Structure 1
Amino acid sequence: MENPPPSVLVTGASRGLGRGIALQLAAAGCSVAINYAGNRAAADETAALCRAAAPRPDAQRFVPIQADISSAADRRRLVAETLSALGSLDALVNNAGIAPKIRVDITEATEESFEHLIRTNLQGPYFLTQTVANHWLATRPACAIPGGFKIIYVTSTSANTASVSRGDYCISKAGLAMAAQLWALRLAAENIQVIELRPGIMATDMTAAVKGKYDRFLADGNVPQNRWGTPEDVGLAVRAVIEGRLPFSTGAVIPIDGGFTLRRL
């Protein structure tokens, strides 16, 4: 009898990077809880694409679960519904995040925008990790993933690259990078691996409104590999971690940016 597939919760999985992550996990034989904030149709589409990619469609499950990760009550419900739907939880991928509604200079930015981004991009993943980690520590379940449980933070090159037209976003991602370090240190002895993936310029809905700006940025040679990043690029990195291909790494920061952050003369 085959072992049950690993179960992974991916936040913000209805589209963009989250969909790319879910598809790679499906191809790797995992079941996926597809968290979404409001677009059920997109989440259902992700689930259908995952089923088409799954090598064990009879055993794997792909379940859309609505939850706003900025809400403590929603976070608790998200974990409970994931456990109920999938029967277990072996990994958490903290992917969900938002951009500011309007890019403005930091001299004009509002506290409302700042608070909204911090709640969603930083506070939400930080305390969702707490909820999942405490479940593992309290119940000590068996893990279906090689090398133990995994927590992945999808941050951004904005964690250490300043952009004065979206300071709130940069600060939220810088804080999230530290959250990954903190949880990696706290959980390493508990056989729970924490990895930060740091995407660069990605072709998603979030960047569609500024595509021209980034096309020019790429044309000027600022990304050595000379292309946009894709959801598949991030999905492949998540898959490598979930499949246990980095067994002696925790707290590691892995750029997925085409060489953008390389120091050059």
Structure 2
Amino acid sequence: MPGQGTRPVALVTGAAGGLGGAIAAALARRGFDLVLNDLAEGAALQAAGAAARDAGAEVRFQLQDIAAVEALPAFVEAAASPFGRLDCLINNAGVSVLSRGDVLDVAPESFDRCMSVNLRGQFFLAQAVARHMLAAPAGRKSIITVTSVAVDEVIGKVLAEYSIAKAGLSHMIKHFAVRLAPCGIDCYELRPGMMKTGMTASSREKYDGLIAAGFVPAGRWGELDEIGETAANLAAGALRYAVGQVIHVDGGMRLKVF
């Protein structure tokens, strides 16, 4: 294993997606080197890596399906190996529902897929990273988990299994936060609102209408960089006393306006 360098290192899962790529670029601008993860080393992951390198980061790719939880301890060790350290996990990988529809029509395959990736996989990845961090030299570290505004402020009528998995993930973060805070590992929940990503592409017209009707007080879609900069601030230690807190980046969408 290489000797431990001076620059902090972050592992970003789901880095080929819009949010993951934006977070990676923002971390690079804050002086982090990066390990970028996704299922395959396609064009989107390569583009995320190139943007991070342009911002000054050294970048490695580490492919892994986080739903394969038995492989996650080895995955974490492999991710940390190139730099000799791991200071931050951005727990971002996730999947949407197989078919948007009525809660009465949710198929077991879609439910199990959401639970496997969006909850079970993220739990055991956070566990593996936490164990690695606890065995590493002292220093401030962080685990930042991306959930959704659809956890409890609003209900996605056609996203039941997705929202249920994310709600469990939100509760998970609190458990890791109270366990790890005394050890110098900060845990946060980052809760985006309406963002133009692959997951929202099929509902873009619907969401445009909701925004126009005032459903989002800010009156617009969120910018991916707004999520990226928030994650980078958290990773850099800007809110160290905000143990286990939810950071809302949703344009006020959770607020009930009358």
Shift of the 234–223 alpha-carbon distance from structure 1 to 2, 3 Å rule, reads same
The yes-or-no answer on 1:40 pairing with 2:42 is yes
**CA displacement at 1:242 relative to structure 2:** 1.2
Q: Secondary structure at the residue paired with 1:67?
A: coil
Specify which of 150, 156, 160 is matched with residue 158 of structure 1: 150
Instruction: After TM superposition, list the pairs within 5 Å mapping 1:19-34 onto structure 2.
Output: 19-34=21-36
Specify which of 241, 248, 251 is matched with residue 244 of structure 2: 251
The separation in 1 between residues aligned to 2:101 and 2:46, in whole angstroms, is: 34
Specify which of 218, 221, 227 is matched with residue 234 of structure 1: 227
The yes-or-no answer on 1:70 pairing with 2:67 is yes
The separation in 2 between residues aligned to 1:130 and 1:149, in whole angstroms, is: 14
Q: Which runs of 5+ in 1 are unaligned?
A: 55-59
The separation in 1 between residues aligned to 2:132 and 2:235, in whole angstroms, is: 19
The yes-or-no answer on 1:114 pairing with 2:82 is no
Specify which of 138, 145, 158 is matched with residue 142 of structure 1: 138
The separation in 1 between residues aligned to 2:23 and 2:188, in whole angstroms, is: 15
Provide TM-score, normalisation by structure 2: 0.94
**CA displacement at 1:39 relative to structure 2:** 4.5
The yes-or-no answer on 1:178 pairing with 2:150 is no
For residues 187-220 of structure 1, the C-alpha deviation after alignment (integer angstroms, 9 at most, x for no partner) is 1111111011100111111111110000001010
- Equivalent AA in structure 1 for residue 146 of structure 2: V
The yes-or-no answer on 1:264 pairing with 2:254 is no
Q: Find the counterpart in structure 2 of residue 50 from structure 1.
A: 52
Q: Secondary structure at the residue paired with 1:250?
A: coil
The separation in 1 between residues aligned to 2:125 and 2:172, in whole angstroms, is: 11
The separation in 1 between residues aligned to 2:67 and 2:124, in whole angstroms, is: 9
Provide TM-score, normalisation by structure 1: 0.92
- Equivalent AA in structure 1 for residue 247 of structure 2: I
Instruction: After TM superposition, list the pairs within 5 Å mapping 1:199-210 onto structure 2.
Output: 199-210=192-203
**CA displacement at 1:62 relative to structure 2:** 0.7
**CA displacement at 1:252 relative to structure 2:** 0.6
The separation in 1 between residues aligned to 2:74 and 2:17, in whole angstroms, is: 21
Q: Secondary structure at the residue paired with 2:62?
A: strand
Q: Secondary structure at the residue paired with 1:37?
A: coil
Aligned residues of 1:17 and 1:230 also touching (Cα < 8 A): no
Aligned residues of 1:198 and 1:253 also touching (Cα < 8 A): yes
The separation in 2 between residues aligned to 1:15 and 1:107, in whole angstroms, is: 30
**CA displacement at 1:14 relative to structure 2:** 1.5
Q: Find the counterpart in structure 2 of residue 133 from structure 1.
A: 130
Q: Find the counterpart in structure 2 of residue 57 from structure 1.
A: none
Q: Secondary structure at the residue paired with 1:186?
A: helix
Q: Find the counterpart in structure 1 of residue 160 from structure 2.
A: 167
For residues 49-75 of structure 1, the C-alpha deviation after alignment (integer angstroms, 9 at most, x for no partner) is 111111xxxxx4211111001111342
Aligned residues of 1:152 and 1:194 also touching (Cα < 8 A): yes
Aligned residues of 1:155 and 1:199 also touching (Cα < 8 A): yes
Aligned residues of 1:8 and 1:89 also touching (Cα < 8 A): yes
Aligned residues of 1:204 and 1:230 also touching (Cα < 8 A): no
Identity of aligned residues (%): 38
Aligned residues of 1:40 and 1:64 also touching (Cα < 8 A): no
Residues matched between the structures, number: 253
Moved more, 78-87 or 205-214: 78-87
Q: Secondary structure at the residue paired with 1:70?
A: coil
- Equivalent AA in structure 2 for residue 124 of structure 1: G
Q: Find the counterpart in structure 1 of residue 11 from structure 2.
A: 9
